[in-house]
Structure 1
Amino acid sequence: MHITHLKLTEQLSPPPSREQLLNSLKPGQLLKATALSDNINGSVRLQIGVTKLIAQTQLAIKTGQQLTLSVEKAGELPELKLVTGRSLAEIQSTLLKSILPRQQPLTQLFQRFAELLSSPASRELPESLHQSIGQITQQLLTSARPELIQRLREGVSNSGLFSERSLLEGRPQAGDLKISLLQLLGVLKFTLGDRAGVASRFQLPQAAPQAPQPLGEAATRLLLDLAKQLDSGLARIETLQLNSLPQDDPSRQLWQFELPIRNADQTDLFTIFIKRQGTQENPDEEQIWSLTLRMNLAGLGPMRVQLRLQGKSISSLFWAEQSHTTQLLKRHTSQLKSAFEKAGLEVTQIKAYQGIPTEERELPSGLSLLDEKA
């Protein structure tokens, strides 16, 4: 979808020189253009600002059509790319349709790591693969209370949700989950060689030409299964990224995180939803913050926590599937209330319920969630 070989034909007043026009084009620059003719035999007349041009393209362009063009290449023969007018919602929908069928919970991926490393066939695998898996596992947060509290912010930053942003800003986070999984996928692709079309959709850079290490049938099956699990785990992270993109309504924003947590020899998963909601007229006024945390911890069972914060008023609800966990929560509500008040918040309510709701239960209007200090 490129419009290439721009050729200057005539200019309106004031007439910039051809050199001035070409020098003003920079890669990445967006231009608004109007088609002055239909596309006839691969050529179309365009007007960009006060300048009329002839462009060569195979795109079906009609007279009067408004175009947004991106400068792909500057110089004597610039190349422009047509930027489609698809909305963010349309782009998200298209991507989600391709990703959703492949995604699987991240806990399955880390379970596969453990099974692979404990398999006798893993002795055939190269040491680089063992090291990559071990490094990713060690980077996870641990359920130990002091470390979990101290590193929670770091864990959210490294959840993979902000991978592309940190790369664009030139400050990739050490231990970023998505980047680490992509690096492991690169090692896996090199190890398997051409035995499977692994990771082709990620367009990973090719390793230096070298014969892959010979693998037995059992080891090959393990790695092919791991490649499938890696693709599913990355698809899950990408789904969360798409669902966390800025909303068309500036008064509303939702962020979704999944944090794998090391707990002894297993991996638990914290699912976190953070929502910001303001008013359409003034998004920054009287914002309501809400946080929902889902987890399933050994000894406590499935739990859901919901906090809502508006101004200085906070309210929190707890659900636990197991009765002894519910009773434990009820016995400690006074301690949580004191912690909120010590942080300068007005506690509206704190309640614990038996069971897990099938849908998000809303708190009374005007209340909302969240305090990391507590």
Structure 2
Amino acid sequence: MEIKLPLDANLQAALNKVSAAFPELKLNQVLEAKIVVNQTQLNLLTVNMAGKTLTLQTPLPLPLAAGQSLQLQVVKLLPTPEFKLIAPPLPANAKPTASGETPLLKLATAAAPAPVAAAGNPLPNLQLGQAVPAQVVSVGKQGMTLQLAMPLPASVQPATDNAAGRSPAPPITLDSRQLIEADPAKPALVPGSRIELQLVKAGAPPLFSVSLAPADSAAELVAAAFKQALPQQSSPLLLLNRLDHAFGELIADKTVGETLKHLALEILRAIPDKSALFQPGDLKTAVTRSGLFLEAQLAQAGRQQTPPTLADDFKLRLGKFIAQLALELKPAAAERTAAASEPLLRELLQQAEGSLAKLTLDQLHSLPKDDAPRQVWVLELPFLQNGKPDLLELVVEHDRDGSGNPNGQNNWVVSITITPPELATIHCKLSCYDGSVNTRFWSESADTVEKINARLDHLRRQFEEKGLKPGFMDAQQGKPAQEHSPIASPQSLLSEKV
């Protein structure tokens, strides 16, 4: 009696595939073939052999061109046919296999494993027309670095990712010659832009079409542009200290223009001494020239027959200084030898732009708000302390309803932040209500708080000598509460209702 054991399903499928393709296929047989398509990115070689078109899986990219003739020898039949490349021989610069022998080509069947992409890079698994989402990491002259969005479609998941697609793919850099702008009229791509990457041509190298992802709203594009265009804000004290320390070096450098030296000297000379802040007239002048009111003064000057002098305004001086620094550093400004102090000029330009950004943001904070009961001004006043630049931070609040009270009193709140020599930072809040001046101090240093408490009686007498009515006074350790801070950052720099 003849007994027939059942064949494994995968083995039976392989046998059926081989029988359907080549009923006469034999071991060690040599066959003539011609290359139809060489997909080096996918390690796939499509050939025409004995009137049939087959796709072969290669262990590595082979430097073979479409239309080239081959000779393949059958070296294995089951479970998947394998072929050895006889002719033409591979060039000398071709990469050998791990064993150093001629690579074997396997018949790509439905049961064959999918081509393995480079570690963490799913792009070789893309099919023509398929797109994947990505985010721009950086943009250079030679290419673009992208972070592929996760999770990716299952068909393009790299072999190193887990089944859930949770492992983030590493950034991928593509040459600019591999990228085609789908719509050149769209805004230029910047770091942070979300895009769709679509394979439009396979090969080595592949070509991709780049388009903005539909989810990228206009608000997101504006926010990304602001992040790239606006300088990082910084305190003007950084600029003034650096300028004061390096002024001698700037003056001694003969390659630096005289206009820039003159502007730097004007900025330093305009800093008032600490004693000027104790004089009402000098303090008012310092506040007026702080740069906070430049645009308002320009608008007012256009309506006056004798416009005020604005040359001493800090924002105006800062703008001139930045423009002159940019001119000095402009590569095509003049045919001159690079100044020895060029690194210093670049540092000053960065700090000046940061100071201007900080001043501009203070102006935005100081704009009147329709739904706020108070008008708030936020400003920083530089001054000289023992011949060195220092900074006084002021927040002035005016109660809009104060002018309507029965006594005709205006209600004011002034917040001051200062760091005196040999003392910790002091926060002071003076409030004027119903003619009384209430004063509160905060400091994180217990020693500083003790010294303030010891001098509160002296401050009370000074108020009385100036004709003011002193009210509540105290000093405590810590920081003032920020729940209702008038200088909280705005939600947006732009208003769609303008």
**Partner AA of 2:437 in structure 1:** I
For residues 254-299 of structure 1, the C-alpha deviation after alignment (integer angstroms, 9 at most, x for no partner) is 10110111223532111100112245xx873365311100011212
Residue of 318, 328, 338 corresponding to 1:181: 318
Partner of 2:290: 159
Matched residues in 2 for 1:97 and 1:314: separation? 42
Partner of 2:344: 222
Contact 2:441 2:476 in 1 (8 A): yes
Give how far 1:185 is off: 1.8
Higher helix share: 1
Partner of 1:104: 234
Give how far 1:138 is off: 1.0
Query: What TM-score does the superposition give when structure 1 sets the normalisation length?
Result: 0.59
**Partner AA of 1:165 in structure 2:** A
Residue of 299, 318, 326 corresponding to 2:441: 318
Partner of 2:264: 133
Contact 1:312 1:344 in 2 (8 A): no
Matched residues in 2 for 1:271 and 1:357: separation? 14
For residues 343-367 of structure 1, the C-alpha deviation after alignment (integer angstroms, 9 at most, x for no partner) is 44443311122344463799xxxxx
Query: What TM-score does the superposition give when structure 2 sets the normalisation length?
Result: 0.45
Contact 1:295 1:302 in 2 (8 A): yes
Partner of 1:293: 416
2:435 match: secondary structure: strand
Cα distance change, pair 238–160 in 1 and its aligned pair in 2 (3 A): same
**Partner AA of 2:347 in structure 1:** D
Quick one: higher RCO (CA 8 Å, sep 6+), 1 or 2?
Answer: 1
**Partner AA of 1:182 in structure 2:** G
1:215-364 equivalent positions in 2, closer than 5 A: 215-216=337-338, 218-249=340-371, 251-279=373-401, 284-285=404-405, 287-357=410-480, 359=482
315-324 or 161-170: which moved more? 315-324
The unaligned stretches of length 5 or more in structure 2 are 1-218, 302-307, 486-498
**Partner AA of 1:109 in structure 2:** L
Matched residues in 2 for 1:246 and 1:270: separation? 23
1:34-53 equivalent positions in 2, closer than 5 A: none
1:197-212 equivalent positions in 2, closer than 5 A: 212=334
The unaligned stretches of length 5 or more in structure 1 are 1-89, 196-210, 363-374
Give how far 1:229 is off: 1.4
**Partner AA of 1:180 in structure 2:** R
For residues 288-328 of structure 1, the C-alpha deviation after alignment (integer angstroms, 9 at most, x for no partner) is 31110001121233111111111212210112344443333
Contact 1:121 1:218 in 2 (8 A): no
Matched residues in 2 for 1:222 and 1:215: separation? 16
Identity %: 25
Is 2:313 the partner of 1:193?
no
Residue of 236, 243, 253 corresponding to 1:113: 243
Contact 1:251 1:283 in 2 (8 A): no
**Partner AA of 1:186 in structure 2:** A
1:268 match: secondary structure: strand
Matched residues in 1 for 2:388 and 2:394: separation? 20
Matched residues in 2 for 1:215 and 1:292: separation? 49
Give how far 1:126 is off: 2.2
**Partner AA of 2:266 in structure 1:** Q
Q: Work out the number of aligned pairs and report it.
A: 253
1:276 match: secondary structure: strand
For residues 157-204 of structure 1, the C-alpha deviation after alignment (integer angstroms, 9 at most, x for no partner) is 110001112222222434110001111122223322346xxxxxxxxx
Matched residues in 2 for 1:120 and 1:230: separation? 15
Matched residues in 1 for 2:269 and 2:363: separation? 23
Matched residues in 2 for 1:235 and 1:328: separation? 36
Structure showing greater Rg: 2
1:59-138 equivalent positions in 2, closer than 5 A: 102-119=232-249, 123=253, 124-138=255-269
322-331 or 232-241: which moved more? 322-331
Matched residues in 2 for 1:308 and 1:190: separation? 46
